Amino acid sequence: MINKISGRHFYQKFAYLLIGRYICREMSTRDEIVTISDTLIREKGYNAFSYTDISKALSIRNASIHYYFPTKTDLAIAVIDRQITKLAEMVREAADKDPVEQLKAYLSIYSHTNEEGSVCIVGSLASDLYSIDERISNHLKMLVDNILVWVTGILENGRSRGVFHFDGIPRTKALLVITNMLASLQLVRLTDNEKDFETIKETVLKEITI
């Protein structure tokens, strides 16, 4: 009886292990597809890349991509939703910090993107706004709304605490901050000056903290 039970437990554990590995492999492939798609959207633009670009980069068949994402629209939505999730995590992590540190956390998003020599996913997809599926546009607008709500809240809280100083309503100032950061990633690719981005970022911060 002991041997039978032990054998049964062994095969159960073995089955669980195989299922776990299968799930991890499935998740890994899906995540890799989303990751390379994010890069391709930023580098080429949504309309300029295909599933063939992904399959070549990951050495998989196009059919494997269609298994996870039947349409390119489904894939683009997954890319945006990942950014929405990352933003939500960043908001939670910065929740207990003071307004200045929260704003720095927001600005760090663009610092990392600039270090990668890339552009913001919002800026890249926005340029194709009138040629992409409405469902993609809706998810992109959701991401932008979440960013705007966060930055507006940071500025409003900072001004009420006396650490930020600016004229006008917080939402308008938030739009200006976001616009400056989005545009800076595009512009500094043409100025050939590595210090330009940091100068812009520091100026954005100094203008409201002095």
What's the CATH code of the domain at 204?
Answer: 1.10.357.10
* pLDDT number for residue 193: 87
Asked whether residue 87 falls in the same domain as residue 144, the answer is yes
* pLDDT number for residue 134: 96
Joined tokens for residue 124: 């890249």
Asked whether residue 3 falls in the same domain as residue 53, the answer is yes
Burial class of residue 205 (count of CB atoms within 10 Å of its CB; 0-12, 13-18, 19+):
middle
* pLDDT number for residue 27: 56
pTM to 2 decimals? Answer: 0.84
Last residue of a domain, one of 35, 55, 70: 70
Asked whether residue 130 falls in the same domain as residue 95, the answer is yes
Asked whether residue 180 falls in the same domain as residue 94, the answer is yes
Q: pLDDT digits over 121-163, tens only?
A: 999 999 999 999 999 999 999 999 999 999 999 999 999 999 9
Asked whether residue 40 falls in the same domain as residue 127, the answer is no
Asked whether residue 59 falls in the same domain as residue 41, the answer is yes
* pLDDT number for residue 187: 93
CA dihedral 118, 122, 125, 131 (to 10 degrees): -160
Asked whether residue 63 falls in the same domain as residue 108, the answer is no
Cβ-based neighbours of 187, under 8 Å, separated by 6 or more: 196
Asked whether residue 88 falls in the same domain as residue 166, the answer is yes
Asked whether residue 44 falls in the same domain as residue 107, the answer is no
Compute CA distances 165 → 95, 100, 159, 176, 208, whole Å: 21, 12, 6, 14, 5
Residues of the chain with pLDDT under 70: 1-27
Give the range of the structural domain holding residue 25, as residue numbers without chain letter.
Answer: 1-70
Asked whether residue 106 falls in the same domain as residue 125, the answer is yes
* pLDDT number for residue 24: 43
Asked whether residue 100 falls in the same domain as residue 194, the answer is yes
Number of domains comprising the chain:
2
